[in-house]
Amino acid sequence: MEVNGPTGEDAVMASARWWSATAAEYIAEHGDFLGDADLRWCPEGLTEDSCAFLGPVAGARVLEVGAGAGQGARWVARHGGDVVASDVAEGMLRQARIIAERTAISVPLICADARALPFADDSFDIVFTAFGVLPFVPDPGRVHREVARVLRAGGRWVFSTTHPMRWVFADDPDPDHLRVVRPYFDAPPYVEHQDGVVSYAEFQHTMADVVGAVIGAGFVLDDLLEPRWVPGNSHTWGAWSAARAPFVPGTLIIRAHLP
Ligand SMILES: C[S@@+](CC[C@H](N)C(=O)[O-])C[C@H]1O[C@@H](n2cnc3c(N)ncnc32)[C@H](O)[C@@H]1O
């Protein structure tokens, strides 16, 4: 579904600037939680090591989109995948280079909008992202179609994203403050401006939008998760908190494949 608000191009340019400018701060705040070479799917704390939702990667040609500092891609490299990490924000890729040096796990880094990937058709066996790209574009169907283009037949597409129900509540980790402040249907995007230019944008996508866009791009939906809070996780991330997590879902994770 198309929404009123920034165009895809404006949103992507805003993301490139925003995530570059805030990358160091983001890693300072969340880097330890994410791990340098781990695939952590969501603020609830679920890791690929504990759920094996991405599935086997050894020997596979793998692409991470919206990779940020490439923690997930480094996890894939540790597990024998031939992986490339891509992100639209140069500043995030700069953080990836710093972590690569520290860990001595280096993966190829490509600066690219996931809506227009610089790869040939049928290049990858697996594409994945943990909270990259999808909440930040008005047209996620375009991302799914682009992922379908670069995946070979039978390839897997696995992504985590903001749960469609999360959007309706205030951005507040205290469950006592849970009340509906935004409509679920036809919600306008959250947009910030600087000097009249879009500086940050996030878009609401309903469950039907998400599933419809995946299927519409030609994928077969295999499984989905609404992760519970992992016991012992004390990292509060925006509105995601141990106290709030039992009441409302925060994350949606989907696994699909191309026929
Ligand atoms: C919340 S971060 C997630 C990054 C990483 N997976 C993590 O867990 O830290 C979102 C990432 O999506 C990237 N992003 C946003 N829009 C994008 C687009 N159109 N194409 C590629 N990357 C994009 C941002 O630059 C940012 O690095």
Are 124 and 150 a contacting pair, CB within 8 Å? yes
Q: How far is CA 142 from the centre of its chain?
A: 15
Residues 6+ positions from 205 with CB-CB distance below 8 Å: 1, 134, 135, 140, 161, 164, 213
Report d(CA 82, CA 85) in Å as an integer: 10
Residue of minimum CA distance from atom 22 in ligand 1: 66
The pLDDT score that the predictor gives to residue 167 is 87
CATH of the domain at 127: 3.40.50.150
Report d(CA 131, CA 246) in Å as an integer: 20
The pLDDT score that the predictor gives to residue 5 is 87
Would residue 253 count as lying in a domain?
A: yes
Tens-level pLDDT at each residue, the chain (259 residues): 444 689 999 999 999 999 999 999 999 999 999 999 999 999 999 999 999 999 999 999 999 999 999 999 999 999 999 999 999 999 999 999 999 999 999 999 999 999 999 999 999 999 999 999 999 999 999 999 999 999 999 999 999 999 999 989 998 999 999 999 999 999 999 999 999 999 999 999 999 999 999 999 999 999 999 999 999 999 999 999 999 999 999 999 999 999 9
Question: Total structural domains in the chain?
Answer: 1
Cα four-point dihedral sign 139, 88, 35, 256: positive
**5: helix, coil or strand?**
coil
DSSP string across 180-204: B-S-STTPPPEEEEETTEEEEEE--
**0.75 cut: is pTM over it?**
yes
Would residue 2 count as lying in a domain?
A: no
Nearest of 197, 191, 134 to residue 164 by alpha carbon = 134
The pLDDT score that the predictor gives to residue 211 is 98
Residue recorded with tokens 């990259």: 132
The pLDDT score that the predictor gives to residue 8 is 93
Which of 7, 9, 10, 19 for a ligand 1 pocket mutation test, highest count of atoms within 8 Å of Cβ? 19
The pLDDT score that the predictor gives to residue 4 is 63
153 lies in which domain range? 8-257
| Cα dihedral: 27, 30, 32, 36 (round 10) | -50
140-150 helix and 207-216 helix, angle to the nearest 10 degrees: 30
Tell whether ligand 1 has an atom less than 6 A from the beta carbon of residue 64: no
DSSP 8-state assignment for residue 118: S
Are 133 and 65 a contacting pair, CB within 8 Å? yes
Which of 38, 64, 92, 115 for a ligand 1 pocket mutation test, highest count of atoms within 8 Å of Cβ? 92
Would residue 3 count as lying in a domain?
A: no
CA atoms within 13 A on the CB side of 21: 8
Would residue 131 count as lying in a domain?
A: yes
E strands, the chain, in order? 61-64, 82-87, 109-111, 124-130, 151-162, 190-194, 197-202, 220-225, 251-257
The atom of ligand 1 lying closest to the CA of 129 is 6
